[in-house]
Amino acid sequence: TVYCMAIVGAAMGFLWFNAHPAEVFMGDTGSLALGSTLGAIAVLIKKEILLVIIGGVFVAETVSVIIQTSYFKYTRKKYGEGRRFFKMAPLHHHFELKGWPETKVVVRFWIIGILLALMTLTTFKIR
């Protein structure tokens, strides 16, 4: 639990300085370390399937790329030209091209992420 709280503290510090306009950007090293930490903790507590729920925003982003690529290849083969399912993939770019400001997309994804995190937390038994 101490390790988990240290990760939460580091994430809060990062988010504080990453608010619009961002002063600090997380690179590959930070995001990969954070993801592997979440994965390791999920394996340790035997709740691996919950990663799909808590990471629902990231899953949706990844699935949007898979859908866009698959649909483009399918329509190129069928019609001779590739068509797009979304205006652009990943999903957040689709919303930006529809006219949503970047801050609106970010806040909406935050809200969805918080709801998914709360849904995930309700599955744990408190002892």
Domain range list for the chain: 1-48, 53-127
Number of residues assigned to the chain: 127
Count CB atoms within 10 A of the CB of residue 68: 20
**Structure confidence at residue 107 (pLDDT):** 92
Q: What are the tens digits of pLDDT across the range 2-55? A: 999 999 999 999 888 888 888 888 888 888 998 899 899 999 989 899 999 999
Q: How far is CA 126 from CA 51, 52, 123, in A?
A: 19, 21, 9
Instruction: State the greatest distance between any 2 C-alpha atoms of the chain, in Å, as a whole number.
Output: 60
Count CB atoms within 10 A of the CB of residue 108: 14
Q: What are the tens digits of pLDDT across the range 84-100? A: 999 999 999 999 999 99
Structure tokens at 59: 């899953």
Burial 70-92 (b: 16+ CB within 10 A, else e): ebbeeeeeeeeeeeeebeebebb
Q: What are the tens digits of pLDDT across the range 71-81? A: 999 999 999 99
